């Protein structure tokens, strides 16, 4: 038997009871359907691809997808789920679906140079690339949907306002934003709350655009944007409030104590921290869902690591801060990512023009895979509010959460997405 015949025979045997709706197209044009009505077309452009399938080298298959040696056509939701089902037929979970284990635990030394290089590789693609599919403020983190009907621009504005309310920002507050991105949060907070602020980022592209936008808004005298590592922010008891959104994923687990210790050093007694970031939902801090974080580390987020919620709370307490509130936003991030990938696909030509075809292939699967990971509960995202004790006593704080939610009850988004593929039926866990 030829290698192709072995491959097809293996697939037919593995798919006998529950066919996977995939059409295979081989390098010479021959096609083979695994189901009567395929919804995904997988084009295999070399014999090597078959060897990688049969040997379980799904890391190599991920690289082949990025390079274009494997072509995939279909709805991105169908691609993800049929890819997982196909890999299960080979007796293991797919590393092609390794985008669902974001930020794997590969060794990475989180020095200032390495962290700056990792940030640049992700964020300095170009500002235009991100502006194509993010909202107007270019807020690259979980949005907030008070009614469930908001578009992405409205939901990111609601998220920023939600954070400002939690921090109880008021005129005269001096605020630090660690990992300020393109400055969207500080722009709105400075305009609406009367604060002064410092924002730091390791991305030159973000820094330049954030500074430009502050000048455009007449805020450059009140909001300073620095190209600076969080560990190098000088002083003690400098800021009334500190916010960090989607940044500590880049810190590294070994540096979590340094990160929260830096926050504690910079906060004034009685000051407030809001830390917003992704967590793994496993009790032991292990990644959940299909394995294969190597794909993310190599192609999207080099050096990223995720704690679980107990680890976050432990490190906050060890720094001397008092954690007083935690809000889980998992379904909000599933919805955010779905809206992003829809915009990403709708403007594919512009994305390819600014980022290239390989980046388009990687990010299309990455964004949708992350949406599935949050929807399934393999990952979550949490906003943790913490106070710095004052005079040896716990800091004063509101007695209820009423100040956080002026919109009333938030409708359920517990199932933000429905993941179904023709031929596979209901794929909910």
**Per-residue pLDDT tens digits for 77-131:** 788 778 777 666 654 433 333 444 433 333 445 566 655 555 555 555 789 999 9
Give the residue-averaged pLDDT of 155-179.
97
Q: Are residues 68 and 19 in the same domain?
A: yes
Task: Note the pLDDT of residue 372.
Answer: 82
Give pLDDT, residue 286.
67
* Mean pLDDT computed over 129-141: 96
Q: Is 428 inside any structural domain?
A: no
The reply to whether 169 and 211 lie within a common domain is yes
CATH code (residue 25): 3.30.1050.10
Q: Are residues 15 and 148 in the same domain?
A: no
Higher-confidence residue of 103 and 183: namely: 183
- Specify the DSSP element, H or E, that contains 299: helix 294-299
Find tokens 């009850």 and name the residue: 409
Judged against a pLDDT cut of 80, whether residue 364 lies above it is answered with yes
pLDDT reported for residue 17: 74
Please indicate, yes or no, if residue 187 is contained in any of the structural domains. Answer: yes
**What average pLDDT does range 171-177 have in this prediction?**
97
Nearest Cα residue to 83 out of 221, 214, 70? 70
One domain, residues 274 and 223: yes
225-263 pLDDT per residue, tens: 999 999 999 999 999 999 999 998 888 899 999 999 999
Give a yes or no: residue 227 inside a domain. Answer: yes
Calpha distance 149→158 (Å, rounded): 12
Distance between CA atoms of 201 and 198, rounded to whole angstroms?
10
Mean pLDDT computed over 291-319: 78
Q: Are the C-beta atoms of residues 79 and 369 closer than 8 Å to each other?
A: no
List pLDDT tens digits, range 308-338: 999 999 999 999 999 999 999 999 999 999 9
Is the pLDDT at 426 greater than 50? The verdict is: no
Structural domain for 219, as ranges: 112-407
Mean pLDDT for 265-278 is: 97
347/392 same-domain check: yes
Q: What is the mean pLDDT of the chain?
A: 84
Kindly tell me the burial class for residue 314, based on how many C-beta atoms sit within 10 Å of its own C-beta (0-12, 13-18, 19 or more).
middle
Helix (H) or strand (E) holding 87: helix 76-88
Task: Tell me whether residue 185 is in a domain.
Answer: yes
Q: How do strand 196-201 and strand 31-33 relate by DSSP bridges?
A: unpaired
Give the predicted TM-score (pTM) of the model.
0.82
Number of structural domains found in the chain:
2
Quote the pLDDT of residue 51: 83
Which pLDDT belongs to residue 76? 80
Same domain, 82 and 136: no
Q: Is residue 357 part of a domain?
A: yes
Residues 180 and 299 in one domain: yes
Cα–Cα distance between 72 and 415 in angstroms, integer?
27
147 and 47 belong to one structural domain: no
């Amino acid at each position: 038997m030829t290698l192709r015949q072995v491959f097809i025979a293996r697939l037919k045997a593995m798919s006998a009871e529950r066919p996977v709706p995939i059409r295979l197209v081989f390098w010479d044009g021959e096609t083979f359907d695994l189901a009567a009505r395929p919804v995904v077309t997988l084009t295999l452009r070399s014999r090597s691809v078959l060897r990688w399938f049969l040997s379980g080298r799904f890391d190599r298959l991920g690289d082949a997808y990025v390079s274009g040696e494997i072509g995939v056509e279909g709805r991105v939701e169908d691609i993800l789920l049929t890819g997982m089902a196909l890999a299960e037929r080979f007796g293991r979970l797919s590393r092609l679906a390794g985008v669902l284990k974001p930020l794997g635990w590969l060794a990475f030394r989180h020095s200032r140079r390495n962290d700056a290089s990792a940030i640049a590789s992700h964020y300095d693609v170009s500002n235009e690339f991100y502006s194509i599919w993010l909202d107007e403020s270019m807020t690259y983190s979980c949005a907030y949907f008070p009614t469930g009907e908001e578009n992405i621009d409205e939901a990111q504005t609601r998220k920023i306002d939600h954070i400002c309310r939690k921090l109880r920002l008021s005129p005269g507050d001096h605020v630090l934003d660690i990992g300020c991105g393109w400055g969207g949060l500080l722009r709105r907070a400075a305009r609406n709350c009367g604060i002064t602020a410092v924002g730091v980022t390791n991305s030159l592209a973000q820094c330049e655009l954030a500074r430009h936008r502050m000048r455009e808004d007449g805020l450059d005298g009140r909001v300073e944007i620095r190209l600076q590592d969080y560990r190098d922010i000088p002083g003690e008891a400098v800021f009334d409030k500190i916010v960090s959104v989607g940044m500590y994923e880049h810190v590294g687990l070994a540096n979590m104590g340094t990160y929260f210790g830096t926050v504690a050093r910079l906060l004034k007694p009685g000051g407030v921290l809001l830390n917003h970031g992704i967590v793994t939902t496993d009790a032991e801090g292990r990644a959940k869902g299909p394995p294969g974080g190597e794909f993310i580390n190599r192609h999207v987020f080099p050096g990223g690591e995720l704690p679980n919620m107990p680890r976050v709370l432990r490190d906050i307490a060890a720094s001397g801060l008092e954690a007083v509130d935690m809000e889980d936003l998992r379904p909000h991030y599933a919805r955010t990512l779905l809206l992003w990938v829809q915009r990403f696909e709708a403007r594919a030509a512009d994305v390819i023009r600014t980022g290239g075809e390989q980046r388009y292939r990687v990010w299309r699967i990455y964004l949708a895979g992350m949406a599935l990971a949050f929807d399934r509960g393999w990952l979550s995202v949490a906003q943790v509010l913490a106070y710095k004790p004052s005079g040896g006593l716990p800091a004063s704080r509101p007695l209820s959460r009423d100040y956080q939610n002026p919109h009333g009850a938030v409708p359920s988004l517990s199932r933000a997405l429905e993941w179904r593929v023709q031929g596979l039926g209901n794929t909910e866990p």
